[in-house]
Copies of this chain bind each other. A is one copy, B any other.
Amino acid sequence: MDLEQVRAWAREAGAIALRSYQSVEARRKPDRSYVTAADEAIEHLLHMRIRAAYPDHGILGEEGVNHHTDAEWLWAIDPIDGTGMFVSGLPIWGISIGLLHQGRPVLGCFYMPVLDEWYEVDQQGPALFNGQPIEVLRDGLLDSESWICVPSNIHRRYEVRYPGKVRSLGSMAAYVCYVARGIAVGALVGRPKLWDIAAGLAILERAGGEARLLQSHALLDPRQMLQGTPAPEPLVVGAPEAVQMLLEHITLRR
């Protein structure tokens, strides 16, 4: 599996999204969240490209593409992760393309077109941000200027006693990549689907991070999410010591 090829798909997808950026018209899905013509066009494009290159691979996509999800190799794609930000005309969104082998994320590409930022990993090399190796943060985890990513419903759903800052930035894939890049101490991610985080998880793990469930503290097993079901609990993501610290500082509100 060739990262250069995946990068070309992502670049093509980004060009589609940029055409409507800052003049987006959005529709509502049954859960009231937004979907745009760009989400659908990109998912269609990626579906075609993957089917042509790897006819025996499976595909799981946010906007309903489902193809052989029990295949040995499964692509999990989010055409635009951060659709709400995209609709608002803010820059933090991107195309997320992850590949799982027997339920384990092994390759990932998250591309943020407005910023021309690339977060990537393949089956051999280090996790990369714009071509440079990255690692999760292990120092200053409780510094007053350090920060964690939190969901946009933090004010209603969570009690957070973390002494640093919280940032709510609108893209789950970006959250996991910011942690992998070592700029965020960690992230709290509220019950993602596989397409939100498959690319991010592959990048995160190679950068030295892990993902655990908020309540049971177990490591996330992506095999539970292969049919498009959400993670069984909210996730906490970071270096193992950061995850440990965050599990002690974050609880669900009653």
Name A's B-contacting residues (CB within 8 A): 28, 32-34, 84, 88-92, 114-115, 144-145, 147, 150, 152-156, 158-163, 165-170, 178, 181, 183-184
Among B89, B153, B163, B178, contact of A183 (Cβ-Cβ < 8 Å): B89
> What B residues does A181 contact at CB under 8 A?
89
In the complex the two chains form, what is the Cα distance from A162 to B165 in whole Å?
20
> What B residues does A166 contact at CB under 8 A?
152-155, 168
Q: Which 6 A-B pairs have the closest CB atoms?
A: A152-B165, A155-B160, A168-B168, A88-B183, A167-B168, A155-B166
In the complex the two chains form, what is the Cα distance from A32 to B183 in whole Å?
17
Tell me which of A91, A170, A178 has the highest count of chain B C-beta atoms within 10 A of its own C-beta. A91
In the complex the two chains form, what is the Cα distance from A84 to B147 in whole Å?
10
By DSSP majority rule, is chain A's interface helix, strand, loop, or mixed?
loop
> What B residues does A115 contact at CB under 8 A?
91, 114
> What B residues does A183 contact at CB under 8 A?
88-90
Would you call B84 and A32 a contact (CB within 8 A)? no
Given A114-B115, A145-B32, A170-B167, A91–B88 Cβ distance below 8 Å?
Answer: no
Would you call A165 and B91 a contact (CB within 8 A)? no
Would you call B145 and A155 a contact (CB within 8 A)? no
Query: 17 interchain pairs (CB within 8 A)?
Result: A28-B145, A32-B144, A84-B147, A90-B183, A91-B91, A91-B115, A114-B115, A147-B152, A150-B155, A154-B166, A155-B162, A155-B166, A156-B163, A165-B168, A166-B168, A167-B169, A169-B169
